[in-house]
Amino acid sequence: FFADLTGNWIDRLDLATGTVTAFATDLTGERPVDLLVTPEGDLLYLSILGGIYRLRSGVGPVAPPPSTPTAVDFLAVGAGAG
């Protein structure tokens, strides 16, 4: 995953194919400054305003790849990811 602060987006790079796909767009007001992938496959990002957000990859026994987030959660600063 990689992000653009001024473009307000997060993209995903598939290392096997070299393909770049849009992951999250139009993050206006919550522009990403740092990224972290959890062991469960969720993506956490820190916004320029200090918010921490989680993009979930899916729900169920077999989650889809993180290129298709299904929910965005706001986490309080200092809150755990789990």
pLDDT in tens, 31-69: 889 998 888 778 888 888 888 888 875 533 233 344 444
pLDDT for 63-79, tens place per residue? 334 444 444 555 444 44
Determine which helix (DSSP H) or strand (DSSP E) holds 43, and give its type and residue range.
Answer: strand 43-47
How far apart are the C-alpha atoms of 54 and 81, rounded to whole Å? 8
pLDDT of 79 reads 44
Q: Does pTM top 0.85 for this prediction?
A: no
Residue for token pair 């602060």: 5
